[in-house]
Homo-oligomer: A and B are copies of this chain.
Amino acid sequence: MAHERRQELIQILHDCAMACNYCFDACLKEDNVKMIADCLKLTRECADTCAFTEQAVSRNAQFHEQLLKFCAEVCDACGAECEKHAAHSEHCRVCAEACRRCAEACRNIA
């Protein structure tokens, strides 16, 4: 992977992990937590997966292709879930957008 593309990917993974963690924390304070149980589950998965992938990419780990495909799949699922709540929840809207962007970046490079 060329240096510049790698730096860009690391930044996108980082942004997505941060958006997911912020959304996770914000969701815990929502009244209708039941409605967003899937949201809590998926933002945790997605934050952890993006952070793991970011670390792996930054230390130039091999196995990029399979890891990035896996990461894109998790981002897809989290983005789709957060999208459902985007109309009335700003943190879900921001998270959904970060997930979409990250899934695309992972697939482009994988």
Contacts and interface: CB of A to CB of B under 8 A. Distances in A.
Place the interface of chain A in its size category: 35 or more
Number of identical monomers bound together in the oligomeric complex: 4
A85 interface: no
A45 B66 contact: no
A77 B62 contact: yes
A34 to B, nearest CB: 5
Interface in A53-100: 54-56, 58-63, 66-67, 69-70, 73-74, 77
Interface string A24-37: 11001101011001
A25 B52 CA distance: 16
B63 A45 contact: yes
